Structure 1
Amino acid sequence: MSLRGRTLVATILVLTGLGTGQAQAQQHAGPVPLTRQQAYAQAAKAYHVPENLLLAVSYLESRWDANKGLPSTGGGFGPMHLVDGTLVPAGEHFADGDEDPRGDTSRPALHPKAPASAARAAGQAAQTLQEAARITGETPGTLRTDPAANIRGGAALLARYQQDLGKPLSADPAAWYAATVRYGGTDWFAGQVYDVIRTGASRTTDDGQRVALPADPAVRTAARAANDSETECPRDLGCEWIPAPYQQISPNGPTDYGNHDLGDRPKSQKIDFIVIHDTEGYYPNDVRMVQDPTYLGWNYTVRSADGHVAQHLKAKDVGWQAGNWYINSKSIGIEHEGFLAQGGTWYTEAMYRSSSELVRYLARRFHVPLDRAHILGHDNVPGTVPSTVQNMHEDPGPYWDWAHYFDLLHRPLHASAGRHSGEVMILPDYDTNVVPYTGCDAKNPSAACPPHGGGSIMLRTEPHDDAPLVKDIGKHPTTGGTATMSVYDHSARAATGQTYAVADRQGDWTAIWYLGQKAWFHNPRTQPTAVGARGLVAVAKPGATSVPVYGRAYPEAEAYPAGVPVQTLVPMQYTFAAGQAYAVVGSELGEYYYSKLFDRTGATVVKGKLRYYEIQFGHRVYFVKADDVNLKPAW
């Protein structure tokens, strides 16, 4: 220990009343590790930052997680998301070009390749990690990996920002509004910080630390974030208008245009779904690509670090975002900056909050039910025909916290029936539901992912832990349906908020009907992973041996006018056999939006009388004709 270090220890011991012998014993034993809660308290005291402000800023950035020293999509580290602006990531959502995101055969299939990725822009506060290192004297490496040092670095930055603004280091958190804006990057972020202070929060972090922020309803600020005038967003979200181009791709003819279709929703078609994506890429590149007419368009992008929202398409227009034209034409697509294999570490609270505020607004405006049958992940969207299932996307993946998201939507997920109901809702405890996935390391895909909580459970062929996983012949057509533990493979998983018909029970195990088979999961009474649900289930009509399952709810042939090609109703490769039951989660009348030419000549919405039921058939939803099934109460 240096002379300076020995002097500092001696001073502390004099102040605390410890004697020399006690001091020597304590030095020999080493420092007592701080709890995460203590780290916030000490950092706040050291830099004269209100402790509740420091906690709230950190909660918005990381939910107080250390994230194992791994960088965020914005190049940030640790509980305070200190940004290393020198990092240059790569990768994009449709980079492989193996899926037709429009999902329709009325025009040539679109297989866009992502443009060459540029270096990530510096972000909301370029190189704040290096700035914190200069202020605190800590090394950048320590700030990346030591949570307590990272928290001190964040406190030091807030204090420096407050001083740069010529303001005192006040004990009143409301006096720090401008410094909070500078730290987070937007007025909306700062407003959410004060909302967290008012409501309070508590949780157990990714490394087992219990942290709490008591509510202080009296804190008020004049937070206001203005939306661009072109945007369709809730007031004060601070949405930016970055339009996607509707443009013909010359000289390839009138059927080659991009990167979306014009429409007249909800007048022409009801919007029934909101699709949650992650970008598998970085915000600056994503907004650059959505402005490329040769790529594809979606409605909104949400930035990870601060929850900033950009709108690209009006709600009336149809984005090419879900790989299923029926879903595209009846949905709004929201992309979230991030990677599904890293989602447990860096789907930020700021992003969850701005996204949920946006979804609440859209659901109210277009009367979209706030449930998991209508707020879909991209991984819940069905394939259109058997050949498309294999390449359908898996985002936002098992680390998206659906339970927390629905809390923020003000529609908390909960039991609606007793534990012996004939239907269950999947609802594991996110923080303790640690599934041993593989595939998070692209260089070593067989390696185990870092342990982390999640919102999905694995499904097996028998009621025991070492039984094989159930099969998905659509996702794995060349291996007989064999599922894997890859984080990218959802074929033997059920996700939080999804409801299924119960097929059987044995002790602590529950079986559900899933892709034509019994699928077992561990569901102990002391720590349940599913709760009772109340609803209707679909069963085959008497005399039928099986029921066709469809990826699109298209009209009957008689509904199509002259000039609009009849869309063939192609059953999927799965079996819905007599004796099985599937939860009915929605109802649709057959509908098809025909749009083939750039000038919209002949564009028509075909509406039929054929009714379909949306069912939770596997990890994805599918459709059955109402005429093919009977409904009965699950309870």
Structure 2
Amino acid sequence: MSWPSRTTVTVIVIATSLAIGMTPANAENEPAGRQQAYAAAAAEFGVPESVLLGVSYLESRWDTNAGTPSTSAGYGPMHLTDVVAANAGGTHHDHGTEDPRGDDARPALHPRPGEPDLSAPNLRTAAEAAELTGIDRRTLREDPVQNIRGGAALLADHQRDLGIRSSDPADWYGAVARYSGATDTATAAAFADEVFATMAQGVARVTDDGQAVRLAARPNLEPDTAQLDRLGLRQTNRHETECPRSLGCEWIPAPYEEFGDDYGNHDLANRPESQEIDYIIIHDTEASWETTLDLVQDPTYVSWQYSLRSADGHVAQHVKAKDVAWQAGNWYVNSKSIGLEHEGFAANPTWYTEAMYRSSAKLVRYLADKHDVPLDRAHVLGHDNVSGTIPSTVRGMHWDPGPYWDWAHYFDLLGAPFRGTGTPASGLVTIRPDYARHKPAFTGCETAGEPCAPHGSGSVILHTEPRADAPLLTDIGLHPDGSPGTMHISDHSSRMETGQRYAIADREGDWTAVWYLGQKGWFHNPKRQPTAVWSMGMVATPKRGEASIPVYGRAYPEASAYPSHVPVQAVTPLQYSLPAGQKYAVGLVTGSEYYWAVTFDATNHTVVRGKTRYVQIQFGHRAMYVNAADVDLRPSVLPL
């Protein structure tokens, strides 16, 4: 078999398109089903069908995402990249009023906006596919059939560059690794390994536009991994990384430097000896990969422990787990957590690649095992689940990774799926809508007040009464005027998220009520298509005789616990209260701590521990705390 030239390929592709009734700008004559589109493209370009399906699954899970771009400017089932204005500068840390450090013992830190760097070749693969196929970039972005053909053309071109002539899928390891767009060996290998693992195991699903696609299992597949050495990629700088060996993880350190009267961009510590790590925080970057790396290496900016790239799942570590990154906007949570930033944009109905989900899940499993962090939604939090520290900071807290992060799929990959553990009498529900079919009517993704494009979501909306046209609940932290919540994409006043647990307050037909921010909130939960599963656990309720109790955003010690050289930090209630008779799911019971670290010289940093104990509860969309002395802890089971 001889390989045709690139020019010949272009002519053949156009001729083939016309022969089967498809013009480059017309998808109406799509073959019968998406499965056939993969088979036709594989045959046309000489790519094994299993390889084409495997790569596409890792990039998009075969979804089209209605033609919207991914966080790394990728389009369609094959994630062809065409860099667009959506990749704006800055990150979510640049917006709103949140101080990422979250410690009112220090001046608020307001990071500078970053400038986007959109020059990377892996952001422009649609142009290369256009050259190979003769199909214009817009069609490659918007037409699923042409998108698949463009991806097949790229894979064939990578294989041709390697000089390998074979129809055996095992001989396509190098082309698959090249398709990832990775520039280092470990990341390219991690991507290719996941593709071939998927091919070995097999997978089947229905896509976001209703197409059934199946990749048959090939359990004895043994790829030629030695091809990786022929790609000319740089060796990954693992250096001091704390990552599983199976990940393409490199060390790109955040600077610990002094400037003027301040320093940045994190604090030295000695965790877990000094403080236990209780949380892993999931963020998105609101920026391109290059911009993200530029900012985390700026000593005047903020920091996080890890960044994950959308296109291939590449991981960069910036801050050691023992040290405290400035990432969550709550100093107590910062001092007790590890932060992961995922290249993404929460404000748009965009998507996250399977490659990134899998890398993130591997990393979180590794970190959770190493630091004894339970794999549940009380310990693996979104940035949007982190509470403000005091009343004045609540409204400015961030809301990433947003309602389009697929928590159910993520926890499936973590090996900790959300399953029901009881009956309606068990007293709790775990939020678990069908992500692909559940499409809340959000607004403001692009223009305030305008509907967002329909998109799968793990968010479930709460109403004041058991009917869809009833008002939403009120979050006085986000709406101090007492107005109800809205469906604006960033307004989670009346919104629960997949994996979160809430105490059942009532039931009526297809509607279930839970306790939420001191109110009774109703959500649609029909038997045939439930949005939650029954669960059991512990709940917190005010002690007998208490009309209501305060709720806190951090678990700080009592004043008497502070040594003379550490200023006492106020134990300030938030603007919420927990009324008598209500119950809230317990996430953990913990002691009180404050990490005093306000000087560049870390020798006098001090962990203050008090006698006060706190209970973390799922009080609203965010996790909050109550004083253990104010509540009774009981099994969630409802009385008969």
> TM over 0.5, yes or no?
yes
Alignment pair present for 1:249 and 2:222? no
For 2:339, the equivalent position in structure 1 comes to 333
Distance (whole Å) between structure 2 residues aligned to residue 5 and residue 94 of structure 1: 46
Q: d(CA) in 2 for partners of 1:514 and 1:47? A: 55
1:186-197 correspondence runs (5 A): 186-197=188-199
2:321 is matched with which residue?
A: 315
Alpha-carbon contact 2:244-2:363 (below 8 Å) kept: yes
Answer yes or no: is 1:127 the counterpart of 2:124. Answer: yes
Task: Kindly provide the amino acid, as one letter, of the partner of residue 294 in structure 2.
Answer: R
User: Per-residue deviation at 1:512?
Assistant: 0.3
Query: Quick one: percent identity of the two aligned structures?
Result: 59
Give the equivalent residue in structure 2 for 1:84.
82
For residues 76-225 of structure 1, the aligned pairs below 5 Å read 76-85=74-83, 89-91=87-89, 92-96=91-95, 98-115=97-114, 117-124=115-122, 126-168=123-165, 170-184=166-180, 185=182, 186-221=188-223
Contact kept, 8 Å, 2:97 with 2:397, in 1: the verdict is no
- What does the per-residue CA deviation read over 1:175-213, in whole Å, with 9 as the maximum and x for residues that have no partner? 101111111122211111112112222222222222222
Offset, 1:103? 0.5
Specify the alignment match of 1:460 in structure 2. 463
Cα distance in 1, alignment partners of residues 30 and 494 from structure 2? 44
What amino acid does structure 2 have at the position aligned with 1:524? P
Residue in 2 aligned with 1:237? 247
- Is residue 542 of structure 1 aligned with residue 544 of structure 2? yes
Separation in 1 of the partners of 2:594 and 2:171? 55
Aligned residues: 605
Is the CA contact (8 Å cut-off) linking 1:121 and 1:284 kept in structure 2?
no
Which residue identity lines up with residue 173 of structure 1 in the other structure?
A: P
Q: 2 CA distance for matches of 1:605 and 1:482? A: 40
Deviations 1:254-277 (A, max 9, x none): xx1111111101110000000000
CA 337–31 in structure 1, closer or farther in 2 if over 3 Å, else same: closer
TM normalised by structure 1 equals 0.92
Counterpart of 2:595? 593
1: CA distance between counterparts of 2:15 and 2:564? 91
Q: 2:513 aligns to what? A: 511
Give the corresponding residue for 2:403: 398
Deviates more, 1:387-396 or 1:50-59: 50-59
For 2:105, give the aligned amino acid. S
Asked whether the 8 Å contact 1:97–1:111 carries over to 2, the reply is no
Pick from 558, 561, 571 the counterpart of residue 569 of structure 1.
Answer: 571
CA distance in 2, matches of 1:366, 1:497: 21
| Counterpart position of 2:359 | 354
2:435 to 418, 430, 442: 430
SS class of match (1:341): coil
Deviation per residue, 1:139-172 (Å, 9 max, x gap) = 222111100001011011111110110001x232
Q: CA deviation at 1:128?
A: 1.8
Q: Give distance in 2, aligned partners of 1:175 and 1:362.
A: 34
Amino acid across the alignment from 1:127: R
CA distance in 2, matches of 1:6, 1:559: 76
Give the aligned partner of residue 26 of structure 1: none
Q: What CA deviation, in whole Å up to 9, does each residue of 1:46-66 have, x standing for no partner?
A: 112111111111111111111
| SS at 2:368 equivalent | helix
The answer to whether 1:521 aligns with 2:523 is: yes
Distance of 2:287 and 2:14 partners within structure 1: 48
Contact preservation (8 Å) 2:257, 2:299: yes
User: Aligned partners of 2:30, 2:124: CA distance in 1, in Å?
Assistant: 31
Query: Is residue 31–residue 37 contact of structure 2 (8 Å, CA) maintained in 1?
Result: no
Map Cα deviations across residues 301-347 of structure 1 (whole Å, 9 max, x no partner). Answer: 001111111100000110000000000000000000010123x5321
Return closer, same or farther for 1:512/1:60 CA change in 2, 3 Å cut-off: same
SS of the equivalent of 2:92 reads: coil
Contact 1:582–1:615 under 8 Å retained in 2: yes
Give yes or no for the alignment of 1:274 onto 2:276: no
C-alpha displacement at 1:7, in angstroms? 10
- Give the equivalent residue in structure 2 for 1:20: none
Structure 2 Cα separation of the partners of residues 12 and 147 of structure 1: 16
Aligned residues of 2:30 and 2:145 also touching (Cα < 8 A): no
Amino acid at match of 1:282: S
Query: 1:421, 1:415 → 2: CA distance?
Result: 10
- 1:366-410: CA deviations, max 9, x gaps? 000000000000000011011110000000011000000001101
Cα distance in 1 between the residues matched to 2:341 and 2:145:
33
Partners in 1 of 2:80 and 2:242 — Cα distance?
32
Q: How much does 1:475 deviate?
A: 1.1
Equivalents in 2 of 1:482, 1:9: separation in Å? 54
Do the aligned partners of 1:114 and 1:295 also contact (CA within 8 Å) in 2? no
Per the normalisation by structure 2, the TM-score is 0.91
Distance, in Å, in 2 between the alignment partners of 1:218 and 1:59 is 20
Match of 2:185 in 1: none
Specify the alignment match of 1:408 in structure 2. 413
Q: Is 1:67 the counterpart of 2:65 in the alignment?
A: yes
> 2:294 is matched with which residue?
288
Cα distance change of structure 1 residues 454 and 12 upon mapping to structure 2, 3 Å threshold = closer
- Residues of 1 paired with 2:529 and 2:19: CA distance? 49
Question: Following superposition, which runs of at least 4 residues in structure 1 exceed 6 angstroms of deviation?
Answer: 4-13
Structure 1 residues 541-563: Cα deviation after superposition (integer angstroms, max 9, x where no partner): 11111111111011122221111
Aligned partner letter, 2:240: E
SS at match of 1:346: coil
**1:136 Cα offset (Å):** 1.7
**Structure 2: which amino acid aligns with 1:348?**
T
Q: Could you tell which deviates more after superposition, 344-353 or 429-438?
A: 344-353
CA drift of 1:417 comes to 1.2
- 1:88/1:120 contact within 8 Å kept: no
Return the alpha-carbon distance in structure 1 between the equivalents of residues 258 and 484 of structure 2.
43
Structure 2 equivalent of residue 19 of structure 1: none
Q: Which runs of 5+ in 1 are unaligned?
A: 14-29
**Which stretch shows the higher mean deviation, 143-152 or 82-91?**
82-91
Alignment CA distance shift 1:555-1:183 (3 Å):
same
Instruction: State the partner residue of 1:48.
Output: 46
Secondary structure of the residue that 1:340 maps to in structure 2? coil
CA deviation after TM superposition for structure 1 residue 108, in Å: 1.2
Tell me, yes or no, if structure 1 residue 491 matches structure 2 residue 488: no
Distance between the aligned counterparts of 2:14 and 2:254, measured in 1?
Answer: 62
Rounded Cα–Cα distance in structure 2 between residues aligned with 1:525 and 1:127 = 46
Are the equivalent residues in 1 in contact too, given 2:236–2:250 (CA < 8 A)? no
1:227 Cα deviation after fit: 6.0
8 A Cα contact 2:440 2:457, kept in partner? yes
Could you tell me whether the CA contact under 8 Å between 2:541 and 2:583 is conserved in 1? yes
Q: Which ranges in structure 2 are unaligned for 5 or more consecutive residues?
A: 1-11, 22-27, 183-187, 229-234
